[in-house]
Structure 1
Amino acid sequence: MRKIVGLIAAGLLLAACGTSGTPSGGAPASGQGFTPPSLPALQQLGQPEGEVNILAWPGYAENGSTDPSVNWVGPFERQTGCKANVKVFGTSDEAVSLMKTGQYDVVSASGDASLRLVAGGDVEPVNTALVPNYADVFDFLRNRPWNSVHGVAYGVPHGWGANLLTWRTDRVNPAPTSWSVMFDPNSPYKGKVSAYDSPIYIADAALYLMVHRPELGIKDPYALDEKQFRASVDLLKQQRPLVGEYWSDYLKQSQAFKNSDAVLGTSWQVTVNTMTSAGAPVQAAVPSEGATGWSDTWMVSARSPHKTCAYKWLDYIISPAANAQVAEYFGESPSNAKACGATKDPNHCATFHAGDAEYASKIHYWTTPIAQCLDGRTDVKCADYAEWTRAWTEIKG
């Protein structure tokens, strides 16, 4: 991108990348304000190279090691002859850092990582013509600000969902309907709150303030001017004594809930599924203020030596059967419309609003904050990701 790479060498900043004038849950941006590195997309598939190195969110590339009955990596290997070497990461920052090593062929990137990877030249455009199952991806998930640049696809949509308020039903009463139970300094659950360990969690505080402090004028939780940003950071500093543990490993958070070390927190649906399957009395919901969330994209490394196997994985993981398995296991909406006919639970897609573009537009998807305010304001400067990262260090102390 005409040497903008130097601005993001530390992986902390998406310089001039983002949804130009578009809130993270709104319509596609008309332009993202930067020119990516000139990298070609693969033009044709070759002979499978025999292996593919996969960097994935927990629950996205299960090979039976977590649960012997949960394994869609094995069928992929048998069908393609590509051995899948899976590395799991806990945060988007970790994913960006690992992708910069050049050791991985594909990555499942959320919106707070995807354009950083594009801007850094770590991933390349994807030739969707070589991904047959892309034709069945829901239209409203294609060519979004977090998975394309100027109409060029940089990956294939995987799945999407919301970050949920989760609680133990035997310890939290009444059932909470607002995030205030996590932010009120007088919350009776001091020391038992579990919060996500990432700078992007600042957006959760901003989302709360959108409703409870409307005078701040927050329109997009990823577009915060100095006053809005400071209020969000201050709220999280106020929350700090309530937090017993910041989590990035969903299995460790599951254990904390099972042991009652945590009784309330922000979680993924896969965490809730893991806990309920183990008999823990937990429930989860999207509170009255709404929620942040994710819309993930499988992307191909610009330095991948296994591009045919990489494309085989992209096509396989969004195929109806595999996409259905992942969506049900993780607890999210699938990206492939035909996956709804392959789920074990016939109500899964209705429960997770698959194909519901209006519902999807209301989730504030993880998006990398930049100085150019993503809500369209041009008269102020917004806090960029580097500032969010510095503030997160202050918040945790």
Structure 2
Amino acid sequence: MNFRSDLPVKNPIRNPIRNPIRNLVRPFTMGHRLLAALLIGCFSLAALWLPARPAAAAGCTLTAIVWEGYTDPSFTKTFEEQTGCKVKATYAGSSDEMFAKFRAGGGRTYDIISASGDITERLYKAGLVRPIDTDKLQNYSSVFQSFQGGKWNTFDGKPYGVTFAWGPNVLVYNTKAVKSKPQSWDILFDPAYAGKISLPDNPMTIADVALWLGRSDPYDLTTADLAEVKQTLLELRPNIRKFWTTAGELANLFQSGEIVLAHAWPLTYTQLSEAGFPIDSVSPKGKLTGWTDSWMISKNSRNPEVAYQWIDYILSGAGQKGVIEVTGYSGATTLGAEAVGEARAHELFMDDLSLHSQINMWQSVKNYDQWVQLWNEIRS
């Protein structure tokens, strides 16, 4: 997806160590037996004092709850081979689902979470995540300067997350069914597409509608504002075939012919484009919401050091390139920009970040309970 076009070891050798105890314990003399017993005791004491081997070396499992595509096997396999630690990921369809599942285990079920800006503060205030020690990340200095200490993951002057990806929510359409390239979100209301569009099943979509209505801050809405948003969504409701929860589900809706237009993530465009489906997307200028995603580590993580290794890997050129190629999202490090090449980095605004400043990035909403109530009324 081109955002700019829409906007101005070989196998290790087994070398078993001879067991000194087995060689010493021979049924010859009492002296030999006493000596063996003494040595066994010494080895036992030494085991108590020697440092434990890293969890990864023991074949650990790093658990994560993430947005789709962020732990794709195409690049996760390299990390697993390097560390000996398996990555077990659960995909979430919305920030609310992600937060609920992460909190349900008291922060013990998952080691890490790929949190968007609308729940980072909630995770922090709930005491579920730990501050990030950036000294443990060799690649942290490559994170774009404006992303270090970002307001979306820095609280009380401390970083609680590390930014690794970002992007806009876009308008995706079937080029065979929609002949002319859409110029605005207004096309979603066209009666010609009744029952043929899809929206994300996420209360944050309310912010998009607020932008369509001309609100300058789509995350600071009064009761009157919400009432207007509700009326607009009710008018749009006849055109909505289904509310999607994952990019894969949305791609299936396009391929089955159930829909021809959708408010979507770039990931769906990438998936369908690679499958040869007639798909394109536009990013209507000035009317964009989006997300800046951060890795956050559970306060009760069983594998915090491996979590740091994972984050550092994703910040690397290989990690960033992997995420970008799978999702079509923009990366967050200079190493990533170098890995994908100058042209691709330019397409994704990784060279000047001008698109990032134009997107109304997801953030915490003070009256979010009202947003959830409104959304439940619309989707029912």
Question: Partner residue of 1:385?
Answer: 368
Task: Answer yes or no: is the 8 Å Cα contact 2:140–2:312 preserved in 1.
Answer: yes
Q: Which has the larger radius of gyration?
A: 2
Q: How far apart are the structure 1 equivalents of 2:218 and 2:288?
A: 10
> Equivalent of 2:82, from 71, 79, 82?
79
Q: How far apart are the structure 2 equivalents of 1:369 and 1:256?
A: 30
Question: Partner residue of 1:116?
Answer: 122
Question: Partner residue of 1:302?
Answer: 299
Q: Which runs of 5+ in 2 are unaligned?
A: 1-51
> Equivalent of 2:365, from 342, 345, 369?
369
Question: 1:208 aligned to 2:212?
Answer: yes
- Offset of residue 289 of structure 1: 3.9
> Equivalent of 2:55, from 38, 48, 51?
48
Question: 1:338 aligned to 2:354?
Answer: no
Q: How far apart are the structure 1 equivalents of 2:191 and 2:200?
A: 18
Letter matched to residue 47 of structure 1: P
RMSD over equivalenced CA pairs, Å? 1.5
Letter matched to residue 332 of structure 2: S
Percent identity between the two aligned chains: 33
> Equivalent of 1:229, from 217, 226, 230?
226
- Offset of residue 77 of structure 1: 1.0
| 1:273-327 alpha-carbon deviations (Å, 9 max, x no partner) | 1111111101001014431111000000011111111111111111111111101
Q: How far apart are the structure 2 equivalents of 1:346 and 1:149?
A: 34
Letter matched to residue 293 of structure 2: D
| SS in structure 1 at match of 2:358 | coil
List, as ranges, runs of 4+ consecutive aligned residues in structure 1 with deviation greater than 3 Å.
none
Letter matched to residue 112 of structure 2: V
Task: Answer yes or no: is the 8 Å Cα contact 1:177–1:288 preserved in 2.
Answer: no
Q: How far apart are the structure 2 equivalents of 1:151 and 1:187?
A: 50
Task: Answer yes or no: is the 8 Å Cα contact 1:133–1:315 preserved in 2.
Answer: yes
Q: How far apart are the structure 1 equivalents of 2:315 and 2:53?
A: 20
| SS in structure 1 at match of 2:97 | helix
Whichever structure has more helix as a proportion of its residues is: 2
Letter matched to residue 317 of structure 2: P
Question: Partner residue of 1:312?
Answer: 309
- Offset of residue 346 of structure 1: 4.7
Q: How far apart are the structure 2 equivalents of 1:187 and 1:207?
A: 21
Question: 1:141 aligned to 2:151?
Answer: no
Task: Answer yes or no: is the 8 Å Cα contact 1:48–1:80 preserved in 2.
Answer: no
Q: How far apart are the structure 2 equivalents of 1:125 and 1:189?
A: 47
Q: How far apart are the structure 2 equivalents of 1:237 and 1:396?
A: 10
Task: Answer yes or no: is the 8 Å Cα contact 1:194–1:243 preserved in 2.
Answer: yes
Q: How far apart are the structure 2 equivalents of 1:140 and 1:81?
A: 34
Taking structure 2 as the reference length, the TM-score comes to 0.82
Letter matched to residue 94 of structure 2: T
Q: How far apart are the structure 1 equivalents of 2:213 and 2:283?
A: 16
Question: Partner residue of 1:350?
Answer: 346
Q: How far apart are the structure 2 equivalents of 1:180 and 1:170?
A: 19
Q: How far apart are the structure 1 equivalents of 2:320 and 2:354?
A: 21
Question: 1:159 aligned to 2:165?
Answer: yes
Q: How far apart are the structure 1 equivalents of 2:231 and 2:274?
A: 37
Question: Partner residue of 1:275?
Answer: 272
Aligned residues: 323
Task: Answer yes or no: is the 8 Å Cα contact 1:179–1:289 preserved in 2.
Answer: no
> Equivalent of 2:95, from 92, 97, 121?
92
